[in-house]
Amino acid sequence: MAQSKIAVDLILSKLAEDAEKSRERVQKASNVLLESLDTEIATTPYEVVYEEDRVKLKHYRPVTEPQVKTPLLVVYALINRETMLDLQPGRSVVQNFLDKGIDLYMIDWGYPTRKDRYLTIDDHVNGYMDNIVDFIRQRCAMPKINLMGICMGGSFSVMYSALHPQKIKNLLTTVTPTNFDTDQGLLHIWMKALDVNRMVDAFGNMPGDLMNLGFLILNPARLMIDKYVGFIENMDNRDFVENFIRMEKWIFDSPDITGETFRQFVKDCYQKNLLIKSQMEVGGQRVELKNITMPLLNFYGKFDHLVPPAACELLSQRVGSKDTEDICLDTGHIGIYVSSKCQRAFSPKIIEWLKARDQLAGRPRRAAARSTARTAAASGGKRRAAAAVKTKKSVRGCQTETGLDQQAV
């Protein structure tokens, strides 16, 4: 009986202790939620330097002396907003670029209305993008610029670089689908079976809220249950609450997608896989990937359920460039931009990669040729030197290709 009484006393004592901790936690959570929270996103200052219809071009000024003389244009997807790159202090790709002297431009696609329903991929790539590239080239007095594409914006950037290679100095693609012949992830399976004609004919522009719901359903347990359980468990953590709300703001800020653009992208890319085959036509011109002879840096996420590695890694093998680098990070579709781990691997690598090619571009041609010859001799001939441009290494357990032989660029 004595042992039983002691056990009961211990249980009651533990329950009382837990109840007190829960009360304190609830009180702290109430204080956090009732106080003024800093949940603003995209707070880095910029100026709009070009506008056309709904499309705007943002220019961010470097906060230090420019270290890369060639300006960088970032092209985001038509889905969600480019504000992902400037989501929160300390985890801002935009701020990381500016801190290292990158002259940064970014396209804001805006919010399509009913009058934009018939805009095609050609209108975006050979229209808006080409006009913006020409504007930056003229404004900076440079024949070529650096181009960085994200997700669907990366697909557009690949198309643009193939159609206008004379205007692009270096091409960067991040979580960019180019090979759609894969069953990794439900998105690719669903899109292949989607009756896109009926959807576009019914909706006109594809509603952003509908697209967003579809993305949530791809992983409902994690995106519709687990994350909100995690929020409840961390309501007493002010930093967690602020970051959670910032992310929710971005997720549910979903512009519609222009109807004809969506129709062509689904048909030509997801269902026919024409882009990676160099059989896709944009504005009556064939998108020949071999025309992409400029250096290519290709990032993707190992655990990306929207754009899996199989959708990204084939690009470097199909382009005409001999300077390609594939980097696979242990993260998902969004973590590549906002996770603390990837902040140390993503932006610094891009800056280093651009700086190396910016400096080499300024060399006299004869000196560069001598450098190439020395590299070829050291590696056993020109063929082996060219092959050395595409090698493989591992980053946190994920294979990558690296193509930087600085002396041979």
Residue 216 above 50 pLDDT? Answer: yes
Instruction: Give, for 373, the enclosing helix (H) or strand (E).
Output: helix 365-378
Evaluate if residue 362 carries a pLDDT over 70: no
The pTM of the full predicted model, rounded to 2 decimals, is 0.84
Q: Which residue has the tokens 């754009």?
A: 307
Average pLDDT over residues 83-102: 92
The token duo for 160 is 């643009």
Please name which of 265, 376, 388 lies closest in space to residue 325, comparing C-alpha atoms.
388
Tell me which of 140, 151, 312, 342 is the catalytic residue: 151
Task: Locate all alpha helices (DSSP H) within 194-328, ordered by sequence.
Answer: 196-203, 208-218, 220, 227-233, 238-251, 259-264, 315-318
As a whole-number percent, the residues of the chain with pLDDT over 90 amount to: 71
Element (H, E) at 168: strand 168-174
The 10s digit of each residue's pLDDT in 193-202 is 999 999 999 9
- Encode pLDDT of 118-177 as tens digits: 999 999 999 999 999 999 999 999 999 999 999 999 999 999 999 999 999 999 999 999
Summarised one tens digit per residue, pLDDT across range 226-236 is: 999 999 999 99
In the chain, the amino acid numbered 104 is L
pLDDT value of residue 214 = 92
151 flagged as catalytic: yes
Q: Which domains does the chain have, with CATH numbers?
A: 47-199+258-362 (3.40.50.1820)
- pLDDT, tens digit, 9 for 90 and up, residues 273-328: 999 999 999 999 999 999 999 999 999 999 999 999 999 999 999 999 999 999 99
The pLDDT, as a whole number, for residue 388 is 37
At residue 383, does pLDDT exceed 50? no
- Backbone conformation region of residue 206, classed left if phi is above 0, alpha if psi is from -120 to 50, else beta: beta
Question: d(Cα 52, Cα 56) in Å, to the nearest integer?
Answer: 7
Determine the pLDDT at residue 360. Answer: 54
Angle formed at CA 367 by CA 361 and CA 371, multiple of 5 degrees: 90
